Structure 1
Protein backbone atom coordinates (compact mmCIF):
# COMPACT_ATOMS: atom_id res chain seq x y z
CA UNK A 1 0.00 0.00 0.00
CA UNK A 2 1.35 3.43 -1.00
CA UNK A 3 2.03 5.91 1.77
CA UNK A 4 0.18 9.29 1.65
CA UNK A 5 3.39 11.29 1.06
CA UNK A 6 4.25 9.13 -1.93
CA UNK A 7 0.80 9.61 -3.47
CA UNK A 8 1.08 13.36 -2.89
CA UNK A 9 4.50 13.42 -4.61
CA UNK A 10 3.18 11.53 -7.62
CA UNK A 11 0.25 13.94 -7.89
CA UNK A 12 2.53 16.98 -7.75
CA UNK A 13 4.90 15.54 -10.35
CA UNK A 14 1.96 14.83 -12.64
CA UNK A 15 0.72 18.42 -12.34
CA UNK A 16 4.23 19.77 -13.04
CA UNK A 17 4.56 17.50 -16.08
CA UNK A 18 1.23 18.69 -17.49
CA UNK A 19 2.22 22.33 -16.99
CA UNK A 20 5.58 21.78 -18.68
CA UNK A 21 3.99 20.04 -21.64
CA UNK A 22 1.57 22.94 -22.02
CA UNK A 23 4.38 25.49 -21.93
CA UNK A 24 6.50 23.50 -24.37
CA UNK A 25 3.65 23.13 -26.83
CA UNK A 26 3.15 26.90 -26.93
CA UNK A 27 6.85 27.71 -27.11
CA UNK A 28 6.61 29.62 -23.84
CA UNK A 29 9.33 27.61 -22.13
CA UNK A 30 12.90 27.82 -23.39
CA UNK A 31 15.75 25.46 -22.65
CA UNK A 32 19.22 26.77 -21.88
CA UNK A 33 21.16 23.61 -22.68
CA UNK A 34 22.90 22.62 -25.92
CA UNK A 35 21.41 23.23 -29.34
CA UNK A 36 19.68 19.86 -29.60
CA UNK A 37 17.92 20.59 -26.30
CA UNK A 38 16.78 24.07 -27.30
CA UNK A 39 14.09 23.01 -29.76
CA UNK A 40 11.37 24.89 -27.92
CA UNK A 41 13.19 28.19 -28.23
CA UNK A 42 12.81 28.30 -31.99
CA UNK A 43 9.04 28.20 -32.24
CA UNK A 44 7.17 25.14 -33.45
CA UNK A 45 5.58 23.74 -36.56
CA UNK A 46 2.69 21.30 -36.18
CA UNK A 47 3.91 20.59 -32.68
CA UNK A 48 7.48 19.81 -33.83
CA UNK A 49 10.24 22.39 -33.73
CA UNK A 50 12.95 22.31 -36.39
CA UNK A 51 16.47 22.75 -35.01
CA UNK A 52 17.54 24.55 -38.18
CA UNK A 53 15.06 27.35 -37.33
CA UNK A 54 16.73 28.02 -34.00
CA UNK A 55 18.19 31.55 -33.68
CA UNK A 56 21.58 30.03 -32.86
CA UNK A 57 21.67 28.58 -36.38
CA UNK A 58 20.85 31.82 -38.21
CA UNK A 59 24.55 32.66 -38.53
CA UNK A 60 25.56 29.16 -39.60
CA UNK A 61 28.45 28.90 -42.06
CA UNK A 62 27.36 28.84 -45.69
CA UNK A 63 28.84 26.50 -48.27
CA UNK A 64 30.69 29.43 -49.84
CA UNK A 65 32.19 30.37 -46.48
CA UNK A 66 33.19 26.78 -45.80
CA UNK A 67 35.02 26.54 -49.13
CA UNK A 68 36.73 29.89 -48.58
CA UNK A 69 37.84 28.77 -45.12
CA UNK A 70 39.12 25.46 -46.51
CA UNK A 71 41.17 27.31 -49.11
CA UNK A 72 42.55 29.70 -46.49
CA UNK A 73 43.69 26.85 -44.25
CA UNK A 74 45.25 25.02 -47.21
CA UNK A 75 47.18 28.14 -48.17
CA UNK A 76 48.45 28.46 -44.61
CA UNK A 77 49.68 24.86 -44.66
CA UNK A 78 51.19 25.30 -48.11
CA UNK A 79 53.18 28.38 -47.15
CA UNK A 80 54.53 26.58 -44.08
CA UNK A 81 55.72 23.82 -46.38
CA UNK A 82 57.26 25.76 -49.27
CA UNK A 83 58.08 29.38 -48.45
CA UNK A 84 61.61 28.61 -47.20
CA UNK A 85 62.54 25.88 -49.69
CA UNK A 86 65.91 26.29 -51.37
CA UNK A 87 66.40 25.82 -55.13
CA UNK A 88 68.17 22.55 -54.36
CA UNK A 89 65.22 21.32 -52.31
CA UNK A 90 62.74 22.32 -55.03
CA UNK A 91 64.67 20.18 -57.51
CA UNK A 92 65.18 17.24 -55.12
CA UNK A 93 63.24 14.00 -55.27
CA UNK A 94 63.64 10.87 -53.16
CA UNK A 95 63.88 8.54 -56.14
CA UNK A 96 64.33 8.62 -59.90
CA UNK A 97 60.63 7.99 -60.54
CA UNK A 98 59.41 10.49 -57.93
CA UNK A 99 58.29 14.03 -58.73
CA UNK A 100 60.43 16.97 -57.55
CA UNK A 101 58.89 19.42 -55.12
CA UNK A 102 59.07 22.22 -57.68
CA UNK A 103 57.12 20.14 -60.19
CA UNK A 104 54.46 19.23 -57.60
CA UNK A 105 53.95 22.88 -56.62
CA UNK A 106 53.69 23.97 -60.25
CA UNK A 107 51.26 21.15 -61.05
CA UNK A 108 48.88 21.85 -58.14
CA UNK A 109 48.70 25.54 -59.08
CA UNK A 110 48.08 24.74 -62.72
CA UNK A 111 45.27 22.33 -61.85
CA UNK A 112 43.33 24.93 -59.85
CA UNK A 113 43.81 27.45 -62.65
CA UNK A 114 42.59 24.99 -65.28
CA UNK A 115 39.43 23.88 -63.46
CA UNK A 116 38.06 27.28 -62.48
CA UNK A 117 39.19 29.47 -65.35
CA UNK A 118 39.20 27.20 -68.40
CA UNK A 119 36.87 24.31 -67.56
CA UNK A 120 34.10 26.16 -65.71
CA UNK A 121 34.26 29.72 -67.02
CA UNK A 122 35.62 28.94 -70.50
CA UNK A 123 38.12 31.75 -70.36
CA UNK A 124 41.92 31.92 -70.63
CA UNK A 125 43.75 30.60 -67.61
CA UNK A 126 45.67 33.00 -65.38
CA UNK A 127 48.74 31.13 -66.63
CA UNK A 128 48.10 32.58 -70.09
CA UNK A 129 46.21 35.82 -69.42
CA UNK A 130 48.93 37.16 -67.10
CA UNK A 131 51.79 35.80 -69.18
CA UNK A 132 53.12 33.27 -66.66
CA UNK A 133 53.63 30.73 -69.43
CA UNK A 134 56.05 33.14 -71.10
CA UNK A 135 57.77 34.07 -67.83
CA UNK A 136 58.46 30.41 -67.09
CA UNK A 137 59.00 29.40 -70.72
CA UNK A 138 56.48 26.56 -70.54
CA UNK A 139 53.56 25.54 -72.82
CA UNK A 140 50.25 27.36 -72.50
CA UNK A 141 48.03 24.30 -72.10
CA UNK A 142 50.38 22.09 -70.08
CA UNK A 143 49.55 21.39 -66.44
CA UNK A 144 51.41 18.17 -65.73
CA UNK A 145 48.59 15.71 -66.36
CA UNK A 146 49.99 12.72 -68.22
CA UNK A 147 53.62 13.79 -67.96
CA UNK A 148 56.05 11.05 -68.86
CA UNK A 149 59.14 10.27 -66.83
CA UNK A 150 61.22 12.04 -69.47
CA UNK A 151 59.13 15.21 -69.15
CA UNK A 152 59.50 15.22 -65.38
CA UNK A 153 63.25 14.59 -65.70
CA UNK A 154 63.66 17.59 -68.00
CA UNK A 155 61.33 19.92 -66.10
CA UNK A 156 63.11 23.25 -65.56
CA UNK A 157 63.94 24.82 -62.22
CA UNK A 158 61.31 27.48 -61.47
CA UNK A 159 61.72 30.50 -59.23
CA UNK A 160 59.86 29.90 -55.96
CA UNK A 161 58.90 33.55 -55.42
CA UNK A 162 57.37 33.73 -58.88
CA UNK A 163 55.52 30.45 -58.39
CA UNK A 164 54.01 31.78 -55.15
CA UNK A 165 52.97 34.99 -56.92
CA UNK A 166 51.30 32.93 -59.64
CA UNK A 167 49.53 30.88 -56.97
CA UNK A 168 48.29 34.02 -55.20
CA UNK A 169 46.85 35.31 -58.46
CA UNK A 170 45.06 32.03 -59.11
CA UNK A 171 43.59 31.87 -55.63
CA UNK A 172 42.34 35.46 -55.83
CA UNK A 173 40.55 34.59 -59.08
CA UNK A 174 39.11 31.38 -57.61
CA UNK A 175 37.74 33.21 -54.57
CA UNK A 176 36.28 35.99 -56.73
CA UNK A 177 34.42 33.36 -58.74
CA UNK A 178 33.26 31.63 -55.55
CA UNK A 179 31.80 34.84 -54.10
CA UNK A 180 29.45 35.16 -57.07
CA UNK A 181 27.91 31.71 -56.66
CA UNK A 182 24.45 31.08 -55.24
CA UNK A 183 23.29 27.77 -53.72
CA UNK A 184 21.90 26.45 -57.01
CA UNK A 185 25.05 27.29 -58.96
CA UNK A 186 26.94 24.40 -57.40
CA UNK A 187 24.68 21.97 -59.30
CA UNK A 188 25.49 23.46 -62.70
CA UNK A 189 27.39 21.16 -65.09
CA UNK A 190 29.74 23.38 -67.16
CA UNK A 191 30.60 20.74 -69.78
CA UNK A 192 28.07 18.29 -71.19
CA UNK A 193 30.88 15.88 -72.02
CA UNK A 194 31.68 15.63 -68.27
CA UNK A 195 28.25 15.33 -66.60
CA UNK A 196 29.81 14.06 -63.38
CA UNK A 197 31.77 17.30 -62.92
CA UNK A 198 29.32 19.86 -61.59
CA UNK A 199 30.61 23.11 -60.14
CA UNK A 200 30.26 21.63 -56.66
CA UNK A 201 32.10 18.46 -57.68
CA UNK A 202 34.92 20.56 -59.11
CA UNK A 203 35.33 22.48 -55.86
CA UNK A 204 35.48 19.14 -54.04
CA UNK A 205 38.04 17.85 -56.55
CA UNK A 206 40.27 20.92 -56.30
CA UNK A 207 40.14 21.13 -52.50
CA UNK A 208 41.02 17.45 -52.23
CA UNK A 209 43.87 17.74 -54.71
CA UNK A 210 45.51 20.85 -53.28
CA UNK A 211 45.40 19.39 -49.76
CA UNK A 212 46.87 16.15 -51.08
CA UNK A 213 49.75 17.87 -52.88
CA UNK A 214 50.37 20.23 -49.97
CA UNK A 215 50.79 17.12 -47.84
CA UNK A 216 53.21 15.68 -50.38
CA UNK A 217 55.31 18.83 -50.21
CA UNK A 218 55.36 18.94 -46.42
CA UNK A 219 56.41 15.29 -46.26
CA UNK A 220 59.14 15.67 -48.89
CA UNK A 221 60.48 18.77 -47.17
CA UNK A 222 60.77 16.87 -43.90
CA UNK A 223 62.35 13.92 -45.66
CA UNK A 224 64.87 16.13 -47.44
CA UNK A 225 65.84 17.92 -44.23
CA UNK A 226 66.32 14.76 -42.20
CA UNK A 227 69.04 13.31 -44.35
CA UNK A 228 67.13 12.44 -47.50
CA UNK A 229 69.15 14.73 -49.74
CA UNK A 230 72.45 13.23 -48.59
CA UNK A 231 71.56 9.67 -49.57
Structure 2
Protein backbone atom coordinates (compact mmCIF):
# COMPACT_ATOMS: atom_id res chain seq x y z
CA UNK A 1 0.00 0.00 0.00
CA UNK A 2 1.38 3.40 -0.98
CA UNK A 3 1.47 6.48 1.23
CA UNK A 4 -1.24 8.04 -0.94
CA UNK A 5 -3.48 5.01 -0.43
CA UNK A 6 -2.94 5.16 3.34
CA UNK A 7 -3.85 8.85 3.38
CA UNK A 8 -7.00 8.26 1.32
CA UNK A 9 -7.98 5.44 3.70
CA UNK A 10 -7.51 7.70 6.73
CA UNK A 11 -9.65 10.47 5.24
CA UNK A 12 -12.31 7.91 4.19
CA UNK A 13 -12.50 6.74 7.80
CA UNK A 14 -12.94 10.30 9.01
CA UNK A 15 -15.75 10.85 6.50
CA UNK A 16 -17.48 7.66 7.68
CA UNK A 17 -17.18 8.77 11.32
CA UNK A 18 -18.57 12.24 10.54
CA UNK A 19 -21.62 10.63 8.97
CA UNK A 20 -22.00 8.17 11.84
CA UNK A 21 -21.74 10.79 14.57
CA UNK A 22 -24.35 13.03 12.95
CA UNK A 23 -26.71 10.29 11.73
CA UNK A 24 -30.37 10.82 12.63
CA UNK A 25 -29.73 13.89 14.78
CA UNK A 26 -31.92 16.97 14.78
CA UNK A 27 -30.53 20.50 14.82
CA UNK A 28 -31.40 20.62 18.52
CA UNK A 29 -29.37 17.47 19.18
CA UNK A 30 -26.48 18.68 17.01
CA UNK A 31 -26.31 21.85 19.12
CA UNK A 32 -26.66 20.24 22.54
CA UNK A 33 -24.06 21.43 25.07
CA UNK A 34 -22.91 19.36 28.01
CA UNK A 35 -22.36 22.67 29.82
CA UNK A 36 -22.62 26.31 28.72
CA UNK A 37 -19.02 26.43 27.48
CA UNK A 38 -18.87 22.99 25.85
CA UNK A 39 -18.50 22.32 22.14
CA UNK A 40 -21.47 20.99 20.21
CA UNK A 41 -21.50 18.23 17.62
CA UNK A 42 -22.37 20.81 14.97
CA UNK A 43 -19.43 23.02 15.91
CA UNK A 44 -17.00 20.08 16.17
CA UNK A 45 -17.94 18.75 12.71
CA UNK A 46 -17.87 22.25 11.19
CA UNK A 47 -14.50 23.00 12.80
CA UNK A 48 -12.80 19.75 11.83
CA UNK A 49 -14.03 20.24 8.27
CA UNK A 50 -12.90 23.88 8.17
CA UNK A 51 -9.40 22.90 9.38
CA UNK A 52 -9.19 20.14 6.78
CA UNK A 53 -10.41 22.52 4.07
CA UNK A 54 -8.04 25.32 5.13
CA UNK A 55 -4.93 23.18 5.48
CA UNK A 56 -5.46 21.08 2.36
CA UNK A 57 -6.25 24.10 0.19
CA UNK A 58 -3.12 25.81 1.46
CA UNK A 59 -0.98 22.75 0.74
CA UNK A 60 -2.52 22.27 -2.71
CA UNK A 61 -2.41 25.96 -3.59
CA UNK A 62 -6.15 26.11 -4.24
CA UNK A 63 -9.09 28.14 -2.97
CA UNK A 64 -10.93 26.61 -0.05
CA UNK A 65 -14.13 24.69 -0.77
CA UNK A 66 -15.75 26.96 1.86
CA UNK A 67 -15.55 29.99 -0.42
CA UNK A 68 -15.10 28.43 -3.86
CA UNK A 69 -18.29 26.37 -3.68
CA UNK A 70 -20.56 28.74 -1.76
CA UNK A 71 -20.60 26.98 1.61
CA UNK A 72 -19.77 30.26 3.37
CA UNK A 73 -23.06 31.73 2.14
CA UNK A 74 -25.07 28.55 2.78
CA UNK A 75 -23.95 28.38 6.40
CA UNK A 76 -24.50 32.11 6.93
CA UNK A 77 -22.36 32.21 10.07
CA UNK A 78 -21.46 35.55 11.67
CA UNK A 79 -17.72 34.87 11.26
CA UNK A 80 -14.92 36.19 9.11
CA UNK A 81 -14.77 34.14 5.87
CA UNK A 82 -11.35 32.79 6.90
CA UNK A 83 -12.54 31.60 10.34
CA UNK A 84 -11.91 27.93 11.06
CA UNK A 85 -13.10 27.83 14.66
CA UNK A 86 -9.62 27.82 16.15
CA UNK A 87 -9.84 29.66 19.47
CA UNK A 88 -13.62 30.08 19.20
CA UNK A 89 -15.51 31.57 22.12
CA UNK A 90 -18.54 29.93 23.72
CA UNK A 91 -20.75 32.39 21.82
CA UNK A 92 -19.12 31.49 18.50
CA UNK A 93 -19.60 27.78 19.21
CA UNK A 94 -23.28 28.47 19.88
CA UNK A 95 -23.61 30.32 16.55
CA UNK A 96 -23.07 27.12 14.55
CA UNK A 97 -26.71 26.06 14.30
CA UNK A 98 -27.18 24.15 11.06
CA UNK A 99 -28.76 20.98 9.78
CA UNK A 100 -27.10 17.61 9.54
CA UNK A 101 -27.43 17.75 5.74
CA UNK A 102 -25.56 21.06 5.57
CA UNK A 103 -22.78 19.78 7.85
CA UNK A 104 -22.30 16.51 6.02
CA UNK A 105 -22.69 18.17 2.62
CA UNK A 106 -19.83 20.53 3.36
CA UNK A 107 -17.74 17.71 4.81
CA UNK A 108 -18.40 15.56 1.73
CA UNK A 109 -17.35 18.39 -0.58
CA UNK A 110 -14.10 18.89 1.36
CA UNK A 111 -13.58 15.15 1.50
CA UNK A 112 -13.91 14.85 -2.29
CA UNK A 113 -11.34 17.59 -2.81
CA UNK A 114 -9.06 16.04 -0.19
CA UNK A 115 -9.00 12.51 -1.60
CA UNK A 116 -8.53 13.83 -5.14
CA UNK A 117 -5.46 15.71 -3.91
CA UNK A 118 -3.89 13.14 -1.60
CA UNK A 119 -4.65 10.25 -3.94
CA UNK A 120 -2.20 11.64 -6.49
CA UNK A 121 0.66 12.37 -4.08
CA UNK A 122 4.02 10.70 -4.52
CA UNK A 123 6.60 9.94 -1.86
CA UNK A 124 8.66 12.94 -2.97
CA UNK A 125 5.61 15.23 -2.71
CA UNK A 126 5.32 14.39 0.97
CA UNK A 127 8.72 15.87 1.81
CA UNK A 128 7.83 19.31 0.42
CA UNK A 129 7.90 22.03 3.08
CA UNK A 130 4.49 23.66 3.40
CA UNK A 131 5.02 25.85 6.48
CA UNK A 132 8.26 27.54 7.46
CA UNK A 133 6.83 29.29 10.53
CA UNK A 134 7.68 26.27 12.70
CA UNK A 135 11.06 24.92 13.80
CA UNK A 136 11.57 22.52 12.23
CA UNK A 137 9.62 23.54 9.12
CA UNK A 138 6.50 21.47 8.43
CA UNK A 139 6.50 19.01 5.54
CA UNK A 140 3.37 18.05 3.63
CA UNK A 141 3.45 14.61 5.28
CA UNK A 142 3.54 16.14 8.76
CA UNK A 143 0.74 18.58 7.89
CA UNK A 144 -1.49 15.79 6.60
CA UNK A 145 -0.89 13.62 9.67
CA UNK A 146 -1.66 16.67 11.84
CA UNK A 147 -4.99 17.21 10.03
CA UNK A 148 -5.88 13.52 10.36
CA UNK A 149 -5.07 13.56 14.07
CA UNK A 150 -7.05 16.75 14.67
CA UNK A 151 -10.04 15.42 12.72
CA UNK A 152 -10.02 12.14 14.64
CA UNK A 153 -9.85 13.92 18.00
CA UNK A 154 -12.76 16.18 17.14
CA UNK A 155 -14.95 13.46 15.68
CA UNK A 156 -14.23 11.40 18.81
CA UNK A 157 -15.36 14.33 20.96
CA UNK A 158 -18.51 14.59 18.83
CA UNK A 159 -19.14 10.85 19.34
CA UNK A 160 -18.89 11.36 23.11
CA UNK A 161 -21.48 14.16 22.98
CA UNK A 162 -23.67 12.00 20.73
CA UNK A 163 -23.63 9.29 23.38
CA UNK A 164 -24.91 11.76 25.95
CA UNK A 165 -27.53 13.19 23.56
CA UNK A 166 -28.88 9.75 22.66
CA UNK A 167 -29.40 8.62 26.28
Q: TM-score, normalised by structure 1?
A: 0.67
* Aligned residue number for residue 103 of structure 2: 163
1:180 alignment partner, one of 120, 131, 137: 120
User: What is the number of equivalent residue pairs in this alignment?
Assistant: 164
Quote how far apart the aligned CAs of 1:193 are: 2.7
Q: Please tell me the root mean square deviation across aligned C-alpha atoms, in Å.
A: 1.4
CA–CA distance in structure 2, aligned partners of residues 75 and 137 of structure 1:
23
1:102 and 2:45 aligned: no
Report Cα offsets for 1:121-160 as digits up to 9, x if no partner: 232200000011011113310110111233224x141121
1:109-188 superposed matches below 5 A: 109-117=49-57, 119-138=58-77, 139-153=80-94, 155-188=95-128
Contact 2:18-2:104 within 8 A present in 1 as well = no
- Secondary structure of the 1:190 match is strand
* Aligned residue number for residue 190 of structure 1: 130
Quote how far apart the aligned CAs of 1:78 are: 2.3
* Aligned residue number for residue 19 of structure 1: none
CA–CA distance in structure 1, aligned partners of residues 105 and 96 of structure 2:
18
* Aligned residue number for residue 93 of structure 1: 33
CA–CA distance in structure 2, aligned partners of residues 75 and 134 of structure 1:
23
* Aligned residue number for residue 8 of structure 2: 68
Structure 1 unpaired stretches of 5+: 1-60, 227-231
- Secondary structure of the 1:217 match is helix
Structure 2 unpaired stretches of 5+: none
Quote how far apart the aligned CAs of 1:98 are: 0.5
- Secondary structure of the 1:147 match is coil
- Secondary structure of the 2:131 match is coil
2:144 alignment partner, one of 203, 206, 214: 203
After superposing on structure 2, the runs of 4+ consecutive aligned residues of structure 1 that deviate more than 6 Å are none
